[in-house]
Structures are given as structure tokens and as C-alpha cells.
Amino acid sequence: MSLEQLAQILANCSRRREVDPLVHVHFMITRSQKHKLRELSARDDVSMATFVRAAIDHYLVVAAGPNTIELRSAMLRAVGSLPVVVPDDEALGYW
């Protein structure tokens, strides 16, 4: 094995470690869940662990949703960002 190959292996390992520190978690899933996870992770060419971590991240975003401050900031950024379209045949007035 050449020095360049060893350097490439080290670079690949270093890139993989650029994540938050991982903790060991053990949980049970059904056989059908395992088969589906294996199928989906193979389709996306990622490990099952990576696939599960991404699924947990997605769930936490969806389940928790944005907090009040994030919602308020998003609404303030959205104000006035869309054009007002009024058909020519409608009268402008109060609703």
C-alpha cells in the first residue's frame, strides 16, 4: 500500500468524523422494519445507522416544529414578500 493510499484512507476517516459526538443507543425493531430499513439504506447508498439518524433528525424537526421565536422571525421575514394581485374587475376595499 502506497503512502498516497494511506493518506486517502486517513482523509476519508477524518471526513466521517465531522459529526456531533455519537452515543450508543439500543432499541428493538420488527423484522419487517429491519428489512425496509435495509432496503431504503441500500437504495440511498448509506449505512442503516446513518439512515436512522437522518430519520430521527427529520422526526424531531416535524414533531417539535419551530419554537415561538422561530415562527415570529419567519412571519416577519415573510411580510411583504409576496406581491398583491387584484383582478381588474374587483373593487378595492375593506374586507
Q: Average pLDDT, stretch 7-23?
A: 66
More confident of the two residues 81 and 16: 81
Is the CB of residue 61 less than 8 Å from the CB of residue 76? no
Q: Where are the domains of the chain?
A: 24-71
- Give the pLDDT confidence score for residue 18 in this predicted structure: 57
* 25, three cell numbers: 443507543
Q: Is the dihedral of CA 74, 75, 78, 82 positive or negative?
A: positive
Is the CB of residue 31 less than 8 Å from the CB of residue 39? no
Q: So what CATH class is 24-71?
A: mainly alpha
pLDDT digits (tens, 9 = 90+) for 57-83: 888 888 888 788 888 888 888 887 777
* 16, three cell numbers: 466521517
Tell me which residue of 80, 47, 30 sits closest to 55, measured CA to CA: 47
**One-letter identity of residue 90:** E
Q: What is the pLDDT confidence band of residue 35, given thresholds at 50, 70 and 90? A: very high
Q: Position of cell 493518506? A: 7
